[in-house]
Amino acid sequence: MTQTRIPLLEGKVVLVSGVGPGLGRSLAVRSALAGARVVLAARTQSRLDAVAGEVCDLGGEAVVVTADLTDDASVGNLAAKAYDAFGRLDSVIHNAFVQPARIRLLDAEPDDVRQGLEINLMAALNLTRELVPALVESQGSVVMINSMVLRNQLPGFGAYRVMKAGLLALARSLSVELGPQGVRVNSVAPGYIWADSVKSWFDRQAAERGVDPSVVYDEIAAGIDLRRLPEPDDIANTAVFLASEFARAITGQCVDVNCGHTHH
């Protein structure tokens, strides 16, 4: 996708959690291209530095904060540094997640499910709670990155579906609670994102069947209205829109970005 500047977030400050080489990178870069100064958070310093470097090369401003979103002290430190970095905070985009093992929910270890809930659900609640004063001050917004597992019936995603359903309920509940204070809360539910993890999964499926990975792609795409999978920038652009003033009357909603893989 072209690096076109569309100033939807001019003068805004956006915190992106869970920054990595795929969607996290796109969320940061597309926010910067929309005019935002960005605060980038993740566990891995090298990933943060790489994305921050890309933002700066595009003429944007980025601050990085290493953070463990399952640790209360680390979350508090992130919230403080995010606000102090530019003296305000307008939006937070929650992208941090962990993919549980693709097994039956009834076969999953309870501790594994609990651990997944910490990052896939509780991290978003805890970080938002810390950021409420800044978001109220700016009349800002929250965007939760969810998943199309909310809509489909794929086996082996039971634990992940439970976590993401909880995240959807969290976003709707926070919309109810923060709306009267002028803060909007929305979700984005991507389909398969055509990036490294999905590409690797398609490669493994192709190898097991002795076919080219393009065969697997085409089979999946055949059941999608646009006959293609969304790319990271497609999801990021939707998150940027929801964070912007163009979405000032939208809250408590979940926007599916899956090229028509499911309808809602």
| DSSP letter string, 12-27 | -EEEEES--TTHHHHH
By CB neighbour count within 10 A (0-12 exposed, 13-18 middle, 19+ buried), where does 37 fall? buried
| Residue tagged 């002290």 (tokens) | 73
Side-by-side strand order, sheet with 141-145: 62-66, 37-42, 13-17, 91-94, 141-145, 184-190, 254-257
Residue 42 tokens read as 């993740």
State the Cα–Cα distance between residues 162 and 28, nearest whole angstrom.
27
| Residue tagged 């796109």 (tokens) | 26
Q: E strands along the chain, which residues?
A: 13-17, 37-42, 62-66, 91-94, 141-145, 184-190, 254-257
Active site residue 192: no
Residue 71 tokens read as 């640790």
In sequence order, which residues have a C-beta less than 8 Å from that of residue 204 and are 6 or more positions away?
none
Q: What is the number of residues in the chain?
A: 264
Residue of 83, 160, 192, 217 marked active site: 160
Q: Which residues are catalytic?
A: 160
